[in-house]
Amino acid sequence: MSPKRQSLLPFFLILPAVIFFLIFFALPLISGIQTAFTTPEGELTLANFEKIYGKSFIKAVFNTLSLVAIIIPIQLALALVIALLVNTRLFGTSKFLFICAIPIALSEIVAGIIWLSIFTEKGYLNVMLHTLGFLKQPTIYLSYEKPATLFMTIALTEIWRATAIVMLIILPGLQMIHKDYFDTADIFGASRLQKLRYVTLPMLKPTIRTSLIIRTVLAFQMFAPVLVLAGRAFPVLASETYRIQFFTRNIHLAAAYALIIMVISTAFVLFYMRSLRTRWSA
């Protein structure tokens, strides 16, 4: 083997990944931007954005952002609680960890249907309330007339499904914090809460940032639970993109929608990067 070939080997090995990345990530990204700003005839235009701007667009943006604003703080807190519980290393914590990790393997659509079985008219929530004697006739939760209830069921489904993702990012970060920090805090007589506030949380900042980025980005492509639980009654950005693509068959409008999602989600990523900057960050 000649020295020349040897030195090319690492590039040769990453070449498939680079080619794949360019064709299926970079190319659609560029093509998407171009499609969003052109007419079917190929002229440059802003008309696509004007066309999608309207009542349902504002509703979709509002709904998506409110879901993000409610779901993500709750998930972060719950994930932190689970991670701290696992880290107590009490008897049975490894089984507890596995149970909490299960939803990570479940599809969005499965999660949606599971919670549909609970919130549908003759679903398990009403059945349980009836069995306990709180209720004679079934209450309808998933209805066009109850946007607040729809919002809560979708949020609950997402919290149930995706807290595992956040937790599995937080937990290794928590376990990487060196024991010495806690020992020192103990010597100075810090209480449990003080240790959480002044040791754990600051040390977890880079991990929290990563989990926020990944989770928020995923929230912008959230799609199936909304469709299962609310149909068209609760538009979010991803479900509207799907609707436009399928019902108008106008790829330019759909691309404009997709571009808006990309821009909003990137804005969030940049915001997290700036506001949670740390000494340790890579």
Partner 1 sequence: MKKQEVICYIAMVIISLFVLVPIILITIGTFTPRLELYKWPRGLIPSRFTSDSFISFAQSYGVMNGLKNSITVAVLTVIFSLLIGIPAGYSLSRFKFKGKSLFTVGVLTTRMFPIAILAVPLVKIYMGLGIYDSILGVAFIHTIFAFPFAILISHSIFASVPREFEEVAMVLGCSRLGAFRRTTLPLVAPGIAAIAIFAFIISWNEVFAATLLTLHNRTLPALIVARLEATTLDFLFASAFFMLVPCLVFIFIIRKRLLRMWGIILR
Rounded to 10 degrees, the C-alpha dihedral 214/203/275/63 comes to 40
Regarding 238 and contact with partner 1 (CB under 8 A), the answer is: yes
Distance between CA atoms of 265 and 282, rounded to whole angstroms?
21
The nearer residue to partner 1, 179 or 249, going by C-beta atoms, is 249
State how far the Cα of 240 lies from the Cα of 216, in Å rounded to an integer.
Answer: 18
* Residue 196 contacts partner 1 per CB under 8 A: no
Stretch of 44-52, 69-77, 89-97, 146-154 lying at the interface with partner 1 (CB under 8 A):
89-97
Least separation, in Å, of the C-beta of 187 and partner 1?
20
Q: Which is nearer to partner 1, 46 or 104 (CB)?
A: 104
Q: Which is nearer to partner 1, 71 or 254 (CB)?
A: 254
Q: According to CB under 8 A, which one of 57, 141, 223, 234 is a site residue for partner 1?
A: 223
262 vs 237: CA distance, rounded Å? 11
Give φ, ψ of 51 to 5 degrees.
-65, -40
Pair 44, 37: CB distance under 8 Å? yes
Which CB sits closer to partner 1, 56 or 245? 245
Angle between helices 251-275 and 237-247 (to 10 degrees): 160
99: contact with partner 1 by CB under 8 A: yes
* Residue 124 in the binding site for partner 1 (CB under 8 A): yes
User: Which residues from 146-165 bind partner 1, rule CB under 8 A?
Assistant: 160
Tell me the window of 54-62, 146-154, 182-190, 252-260 that interacts with partner 1 (CB under 8 A).
252-260
- 28 contributes a contact to partner 1 by CB under 8 A: yes
Q: How many CB atoms lie within 10 A of CB 252?
A: 21
With binding defined as CB under 8 A, does residue 16 bind partner 1?
yes
The answer for residues whose C-beta is within 8 angstroms of residue 158's C-beta and 6 or more apart is 67, 71, 75, 111, 219, 222, 225
**200 touching partner 1, by CB under 8 A:** no
